[in-house]
Amino acid sequence: MAAQSGDAALVDAAGMLAAQSRVARFAPLLAQLFPELAASQGHIESDLLVMPQLQQALGLPREHGRLWVKADHSLPVAGSIKARGGFHEVLEQAENLALQNGLITLDGDYRTLAQPTARALFGQHQIAVGSTGNLGMAIGVMAAALGFRAVVHMSADAKDWKKQRLRQHGVEVVEHSGDYERAVESGRQQAKADDRCHFVDDERSLSLFLGYSAAALHLRDQLKTQGVLVDAEHPLVVYLPCGVGGAPSGIAWGLHQLFGAHVHCFFAEPVQSPCFLAHLLSPPGSHYSVYDYGLTNQTEADGLAVPRASLLAAQIMRPLLAGIFTVADDTLFTHLALAHDTACLRIEPSAAIGFSGPGLLRSSALACPGANHIVWTTGGLLVPEVQYQGFLQQARHG
C-alpha cells in the first residue's frame, strides 16, 4: 500500500477549527434527533475529572503530578471516542449534500435537515464503514438517524451486542470472518462500485482525523476553567489508547497545535496488537503489520484489535509522539475494576489501557509535582450490563 503523503499536508489548524464549527452548527438538529442530547443542547462532549483516589490506588505519588481522566467513555449516542471523528465525517457528508442541493445555508437553521425533503435526499445515499465495532456504531447510528442508508462491515472480533444494536437502528451489518483490515478492505471495494456511497475510511480519512483533533480545543477550555497551567514547569502528559491510530493522532496533533512542546502524548497498545509501534519500528517505506512481528492481534480490547496502522496517522505523529507502551490484557481488567471501585467509572477494556502510563514514567522528568497526567478513557457507556459485570468478574477472579 502506498503512503498517502499528500494527505498529511492537508491537515492544518484551520481544518481543526472548521470541524469544531461544523459540529456546533449541527447541535440544534442533534438535540432534536437524540433525546439524550436535549440537556446539552446537542453538544457532544465529555468531562475532565481529577482522580485523587484512583491515583492513590495506582500507587502514583502526588510529587509525580496529578492524575486526570478525560471521560470519553461517557460520550453520549456513540458511547466512545468515535463520537468525535465518526460523527464529524457523517455530518460533513450530510452538510455537503444539503448545501449542494440548496437545502441549507451555513448560517441557517440545520433543523430543516430533519424534514422529509432532506431525509429523502439522504435516503438516496449510502454511508459505509469497516469496523471492529465502535466506529461502526458511531457511523451507523448517526447516518441512520439522518436518513442515510447505512452499511457497517464488521470484523470477526466485533461483539454481538454491537451488531444487534446497529440492526435495531436500521443499519445493515455485513459480517466478515477476517480481521479489521479485511472488513475495511471489503467495505472500501464495495463502496467504490457505487458513486452514491460514501465510505468512511478509518485508515485514511482526513475528516475523521480533523473531527478527533477538535477535542483538543475543548480540552484547552476545560484546563483553563479548572485552573490547570501548561508550561515548562507544568507539562501536560496525555495517554491515548491506539487502534489504527486515527483518534489518538488527531487528538495529539490538535494538542500540539495548542500547547507545542509542553504537551507529551503517549500511545497505549495491547501487547498482541501494537500496530503503531510495529509501523514506527519498521524500515522507512514499509508497512508492517503485527503479524509480521509474530503477534496474534488477539486481545480483549476489541476497540484496539488492529493489525496495521494508518499511514496518515503515522506520518503525522512520527515527529510528535513522545512514546508508545504496550499493556497485557490482564492489566486492562485490573485497571477497569480499579476505575470502577475508586471513581465509579464504567469503562470498557480498551479504555483502561492508558492507566499503565503514568507509572511507567516514574523515573522520568515528566513525573514532577507540576505535571498533569491525563488518561483518555475512550469507551464504555453502551456496554450492556451483563458484559460489564463479566469484565469486573474477570478482573476479580481471572
Ligand X SMILES: *Cc1c(COP(=O)(O)O)cnc(C)c1O
Among 243, 274, 357, 358, binds ligand X (CB under 6 A): 243
Q: For 56, left (φ over 0), alpha (ψ -120 to 50), or beta?
A: alpha
Q: What's the min distance (Å) between Cβ of 398 and ligand X?
A: 23
Distance separating alpha carbons of residues 314 and 217, to the nearest angstrom: 22
Residue 247 engages ligand X in binding (rule: CB under 6 A): yes
Cell of 157: 472480533
Q: What's the min distance (Å) between Cβ of 118 and ligand X?
A: 29
Site string (94-133) toward ligand X, x via CB under 6 A: ----------------------------------------
Residue 134 engages ligand X in binding (rule: CB under 6 A): yes
Residue 140 engages ligand X in binding (rule: CB under 6 A): no
* Binding-residue total with ligand X (CB under 6 A): 21
| Interface segment toward ligand X; rule CB under 6 A; list 185-193, 300-308, 324-332, 381-389 | 300-308
Strand 48-50 with 66-71, pairing:
antiparallel
Q: What's the min distance (Å) between Cβ of 174 and ligand X?
A: 19
The Cβ of residue 105 has, within 10 Å, a number of other Cβ atoms equal to 10
Q: What's the min distance (Å) between Cβ of 26 and ligand X?
A: 21
Contact 210, 151 (CB under 8 A): no
Residue 349 engages ligand X in binding (rule: CB under 6 A): no
Cβ nearer to ligand X, comparing 361 with 381: 381
Q: Provide long-range contacts, Cβ within 8 A and 24+ apart, for 192-195.
A: 194/126
Q: What's the min distance (Å) between Cβ of 132 and ligand X?
A: 7
Going by the DSSP 8-state scheme, the letter that residue 49 receives in this structure is E
Q: What's at 199, amino acid-wise?
A: F
Distance separating alpha carbons of residues 257 and 245, to the nearest angstrom: 18
Angstrom CA distances, 378 to 187, 256, 350, 386, stand at 24, 20, 7, 20
Contact 155, 180 (CB under 8 A): yes
Q: What's the min distance (Å) between Cβ of 82 and ligand X?
A: 6
Residue 80 engages ligand X in binding (rule: CB under 6 A): yes
Residues that bind ligand X (CB under 6 A): 80-82, 134-135, 241-248, 303-304, 306, 348, 350-351, 378-379
